[in-house]
């Protein structure tokens, strides 16, 4: 495990810890995914209703994530054999194949390295976080949910697309942004720029067209 401050929550802009573990698709090494976007998401336990609904929804949306060059990676403290039994049950129940890797974390080492739980935690009830990692291995966004509320797949896709849009450092996305909507110019940082605009607000608030 490669991390600097054990058990501290990851911060946006930090390089995420890399890890190796067993998974439902075979031996897993997060370092192998460098160069791609990653959505790493955790769940507290297999055979839970909310997580089951999420995995079915994510599997059905997997082509949309793949089109954005984003790998889906799940992690749970349950064992590999529990994961395998769960995805077989999901297939028998819904006809949906879960083909993205589900990583086992029985010692909660990954959970602690990512700051999902504290050093004294004895269970995985709070392991319910989504991490958006860029191709350089940097955390760009994270979301944490309670065990009672399911994630919104359309919102996860929207957030991923927004992160990809702004990664070049040339634009921002406004509230309620959807692909194709206007974006926002990055605010000016000099006095000369504040006086250069036609309108008094141009220096800090200028909608621009989405060029892609």
Per-block average pLDDT, block size 10, for the chain (212 residues)? 58 96 98 97 93 97 98 96 98 98 94 81 72 98 92 98 94 96 93 89 92 73
Note the pLDDT of residue 137: 98
Q: Do the domain assignments include residue 33?
A: yes
- What are 65-81's pLDDT values in tens digits? 999 999 999 999 999 99
Domain assignment of residue 161, yes or no: no
The pLDDT assigned to 4 comes to 39
**189 & 109 share domain:** no
Q: H helices then E strands: how many in the chain?
A: 6, 10
pLDDT for res 116? 85
Are residues 125 and 55 both part of a single domain? yes
Total tally of structural domains belonging to the chain: 2
CA distance 102 to 173: 32
Q: Is the domain of 197 the same as that of 114?
A: no
Catalytic residue numbers, as ranges: 51
- CA 153/CA 155 separation, integer angstroms: 5
With 0.95 as the threshold, say if the pTM is over it: no
Q: 146 and 195: one domain? A: no
The SS3 call for residue 180 is: coil
């Amino acid at each position: 495990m490669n991390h600097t401050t054990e058990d501290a929550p990851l911060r946006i802009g930090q390089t995420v810890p890399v890890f190796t573990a067993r998974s439902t698709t075979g031996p897993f090494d997060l370092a192998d995914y460098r160069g791609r976007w990653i959505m790493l998401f955790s769940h507290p336990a297999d055979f839970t209703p909310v997580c089951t609904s999420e995995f079915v929804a994510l599997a059905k949306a997997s082509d949309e994530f793949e089109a954005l060059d984003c790998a889906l990676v799940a992690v749970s403290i349950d064992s590999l054999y529990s994961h395998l039994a769960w995805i077989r049950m999901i297939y028998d129940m819904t006809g949906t194949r879960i083909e993205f890797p589900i990583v086992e974390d029985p010692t909660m080492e990954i959970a602690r390295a990512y700051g999902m739980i504290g050093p004294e935690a004895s269970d995985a009830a709070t392991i319910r976080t989504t991490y958006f990692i860029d191709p350089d291995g940097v955390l760009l966004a994270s979301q944490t949910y309670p065990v009672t509320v399911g994630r919104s797949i359309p919102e996860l896709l929207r957030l991923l697309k927004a992160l990809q849009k702004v990664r070049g450092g040339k634009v921002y996305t406004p509230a309620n942004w959807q692909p194709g909507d206007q974006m926002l110019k990055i605010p000016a940082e000099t006095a000369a720029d504040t006086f250069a605009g036609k309108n008094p607000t141009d220096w800090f608030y200028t909608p621009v067209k989405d060029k892609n």
